[in-house]
Amino acid sequence: EADIYQTPRYLVIGTGKKITLECSQTMGHDKMYWYQQDPGMELHLIHYSYGVNSTEKGDLSSESTVSRIRTEHFPLTLESARPSHTSQYLCASSELGPANFGPGTRLLVL
């Protein structure tokens, strides 16, 4: 079992609220990723990081932001949630092997 954690697992929130999705890994991996996945659809990369103080936007345009102050921590923030942000958000980390995924956060914006 991969040591990568996400909180919260489920979140229901109103439009306009600011939220932060947490992701932590204990494997010391430099590379970390955030993916967005709608039901029955493929994963889309929204943010990634090579290491501390390194963040880049992914393929899918996202209104979220990320930070990487510590190796083990890669939080994702939505400044003002909208119903279009309703989705599952998956965090992952990797070194040379396959990416290890967290359990995901299911977000519902009303």
Partner 1 sequence: KNQVEQSPQSLIILEGKNCTLQCNYTVSPFSNLRWYKQDTGRGPVSLTIMTFSENTKSNGRYTATLDADTKQSSLHITASQLSDSASYICVVSDRGSTLGRLYFGRGTQLTVWP
Judged by the rule CB under 8 A, the positions of this chain that interact with partner 1 are 2, 4, 6, 31, 33, 40-45, 48, 50, 88, 90, 92, 97-104, 106
| Closer of 48 and 74 to partner 1 (Cβ) | 48
Contacts of 108 (CB under 8 A, 6+ apart): 10, 11, 12, 13, 86
| Closer of 65 and 101 to partner 1 (Cβ) | 101
Q: How far is the CB of 109 from partner 1 (least distance, A)?
A: 18
Contact 32, 92 (CB under 8 A): yes
Q: How far is the CB of 103 from partner 1 (least distance, A)?
A: 5
Q: How far is the CB of 80 from partner 1 (least distance, A)?
A: 26
Q: Which backbone phi and psi does 52 adopt, to 5 degrees?
A: -55, 135
Contact 110, 83 (CB under 8 A): yes
